[in-house]
Structures are given as structure tokens and as C-alpha cells.
Structure 1
Amino acid sequence: MTPQMASDMAQTSTIASTVVVVTVIAIAAFVAIGLYRARHGAARETSYRVLAERSADSAHAVADELKGVRDELGDVRQRLAALEKLLSQIG
């Protein structure tokens, strides 16, 4: 083996090792990014779920309040009708 061939083999070995190391680092980086995105997505999903539950609770509270207002309005209408009837009898 000539010294030139030995030098070429050493360079090839260095290049191959560098390529392997860069590939492993790139794969590790992609896995880390994927894990980060998954955790962040799960946290957002949890936040959205909590927000949806609070929104549903608020909607139920508003519906209950609206039902109370409707009942009161019905009572006021009945009283007004009774008052109109009384006034028509008097006048």
C-alpha cells in the first residue's frame, strides 16, 4: 500500500465518520423537535379543553338566567293583562 492510498483511506474514513455523526445528530434533532411539538400540542389541547368546558358552563348559566327572565316576563305579561282587564271594567 502506498502512502497516497493510506492517506486517501484515512480521508475517506474521516469523511464517513463525519457523515455518520452528522446524520445521528440530525436524527436526534428531528426526534427532539417532534417530542417538543407533541408536548406543546398536548398542552394546547388541554388548554382548549378547559376553555371549552368553561364556555359550556357559561352557556348553561346564561341559558338558566334567560329562562328566569322569560318566566318573569311571562308573569309581568299576566299581571299587565289583569291590570288592563281591570281598567277596562272601571273605565
Structure 2
Amino acid sequence: MALDMAQTSTIASAVIAVVVIAVAGFVGIGFYRARYAAAREAGYRVLAERSADSGQAMADELKGVRAELGEVRHRLTALEKLLSQIG
């Protein structure tokens, strides 16, 4: 069964159309995945910045607690010295 020229061109056009639509679909999916990955990466970046800021705040607070503890130790030593002189 031989195909005439009109049937061959119709089949070829349909195949080309399907291929073009498939390529456009794959490109569209690639763009979507890239955009989604970029948004997810931006979210991770914000989370990392918050974590770093939180860690720095905790370090600053710990530094303050250490200073207060040093002051308490100094006062306790002075109090012990005073009590030993009295008693």
C-alpha cells in the first residue's frame, strides 16, 4: 500500500507538530524546575541567615552571662573574705 504525496505530507506535518510540542513541553518543564529550585534556594539562604543571626545573638548573650558570672564570683570572693575576717 503506497501512500500518496498528500498523505505523506500530512503524516510528516503531524510528526513535526508532535515533536515541536514535546520539545516545548520539556523546555517549559525545565524552566519551571529551575524557577522552583531558585525559589527553594532563596528560602534556604534566608533560613541560613536567620540561623547565623540567631547564633550571633546567642554568642553575645553568652558573653554577657559570662561577664555577670565573673562579677558574681568576684563579689562572692569579697564576701567570703569579709566573713572570714569577721568570724
TM exceeding 0.5: yes
Alpha-carbon distance, 1:46 to partner: 1.3
Specify the code of the residue in structure 2 equivalent to 1:68: G
| 1:13 aligned residue | 9
Correspondence for 1:32 among 25, 28, 48: 28
Q: Does 1:88 align with 2:81?
A: no
- Corresponding position: 1:46 with 2:46: no
Query: Which consecutive residues of structure 1, in runs of 5 or more, have no partner in the other structure?
Result: none
CA distance in 1, matches of 2:10, 2:54: 65
**Which ranges of structure 2 fall in alignment gaps of 5 or more residues?**
none
Please name the residue that 2:18 is paired with: 22
Q: Tell me which residue corresponds to 1:58.
A: 54
Q: Residue by residue, what CA displacement relative to the aligned partner does 1:1-58 show, whole Å, maximum 9, x if unpaired?
A: xxx64xx133332222211111100000000001111111111111111111111111
Range moving further from structure 2, 39-48 or 19-28? 39-48
* Count of matched residue pairs: 86
RMSD of aligned C-alpha atoms? 1.4
Separation in structure 1 between the aligned mates of residue 7 and residue 73 of structure 2, nearest angstrom: 96
| Counterparts of 2:70 and 2:22, CA distance in 1 | 71
Specify the structure having the higher radius of gyration (Cα). Answer: 1
Letter in 2 for 1:44: R
Percent of aligned positions that are identical: 73
C-alpha distance in 1 between matches for 2:68 and 2:78:
15
Equivalent residue letter for 1:86: L
